[in-house]
Structure 1
Amino acid sequence: MDETSQKIIDATMSLVRDKGYVAMTTKDIAKLAGVNECTLFRKFKSKKDIVLNGMEQEKWRGNLTPDVFQNIKWDLAADLEMFMTEYMERMTPDFVRLSIGLRAPQIYEETAPLVMKVPQAFLSSLIEYFEGMEQRGKLPHLDFECLAMTIFSSTFGYTFLSASFEDHLSQISREEYIRQSVQTFINGIPYQE
């Protein structure tokens, strides 16, 4: 990839993150990249083509693969905290905003499979972990996909809301949120009638 093409991709992906796919124009891209529009179209067919090229680069994809969940202790609380922490460390506010910007109907069909690799990695790894816990006699046979979706939804929700509102919505730290969520997941809510 030549330097000019990379500048165009970086400008485009930054604009998708900051403005959304639909709102950005090729004029915006050219200006931010420091090139003229003719150069942009010599390098790429369309703004969609630029985005798809950007999605192929690791720096513009969520850096979450099953291999990040290898620090397993076979202790439910510690391991669930590890899963949530690994996800939250890699899903930065910038990546969350970029993935929101990539949901435009004009590109969704092409970008959704790439964006979905992140939750798929989390879910498949967590399901495999629950199955391993069952094999070790530490969990009964349950609907592990449902359990994984519950943990993922909680993790994604906190990450999304933090990226959207920073600490204006809640003052709960990430570490405290993870700890309390895992404890509630494992022990349930203490309830008295």
Structure 2
Amino acid sequence: MTKLETRTRIIEAARLLFKQKGYTAASTREIAELAGVNHLTLFRHFTNKENLYRISVVDHLTSGDFITCIQAKLTGKLESDLTFIASAYLRENSDKGELFLTSLQESRDHAEAAELIGEIPRRLNAFMVQYFAELQQKQQIIPADYTILSTLFFSMLNQYILYRTHPLFEQLYPSTEESFIMECVSLLTSRLNA
């Protein structure tokens, strides 16, 4: 097995156990065993449990590549950009609702997990605040608290992702994903348009 294959197996095993048990209860020994590697091999690849969690869960929930990929495709037109961002975010995270839930529950009780999970909204908000500030500088949108608006935007999208894991999803959200995105975008554009 190559180093890359070993690393991939460890990440997949870690993601599965962190999803099932949470950060605290999932031991590195269990992860190594599930991955079919020596416990020492896990530490050679990731140094510690925190790094393994960051790479297998935090980066997986919203990869650093996500922001880089969408930045290159933004046009500077608020409505179309927000629609694109929302669609890309839901596509990137649609199958991660259970992992979101486990991570949120874990972060309530454990400061270390909370700090790691907190990286996700910090990255997303920094990206969106910068985007809004650039549009405002070009006088395409009005001044506002862009951090709050970014938080609201991603909170709506995250709620949609979380509810997808609920057995009553179709009853909770009878409309299509496209109409949900359209309404979220409409709320933000109506607030920001000059």
**Normalising by the residue count of structure 1, what TM-score does the alignment of the two structures yield?**
0.70
1:29: how far off?
A: 4.1
Query: What pairs up with 1:123-134 in 2 under 5 angstroms?
Result: 123-134=125-136
Correspondence for 2:99: 98
1:97: how far off?
A: 2.8
Change (3 A) 1:140 1:51: closer
Matched positions, count: 181
4+ residue segments displaced more than 6 Å: none
Contact 1:99 1:115 in 2 (8 A): no
Query: What pairs up with 1:18-97 in 2 under 5 angstroms?
Result: 18-22=20-24, 24=26, 29=31, 32-34=34-36, 39-40=38-39, 42-44=40-42, 49-50=48-49, 52-56=51-55, 60=60, 62-64=62-64, 65-67=66-68, 68-94=70-96, 96-97=97-98
Change (3 A) 1:77 1:27: same
Q: Unaligned regions of 5+ residues in structure 2, if any?
A: none
**Normalising by the residue count of structure 2, what TM-score does the alignment of the two structures yield?**
0.70
Contact 1:9 1:50 in 2 (8 A): no
Contact 1:55 1:61 in 2 (8 A): no
Q: Unaligned regions of 5+ residues in structure 1, if any?
A: 189-193
Q: Of the candidates 90, 108, 111, which is equivalent to residue 109 of structure 1?
A: 111
Secondary structure of 2:169's partner? coil
What is the CA–CA distance in structure 1 between the aligned matches of 2:98 and 2:126, rounded to whole Å?
24
Identify, as 1 or 2, the structure richer in helix.
2
Change (3 A) 1:90 1:170: same
Contact 2:100 2:162 in 1 (8 A): no
Change (3 A) 1:61 1:161: closer
Identity of aligned residues (%): 21
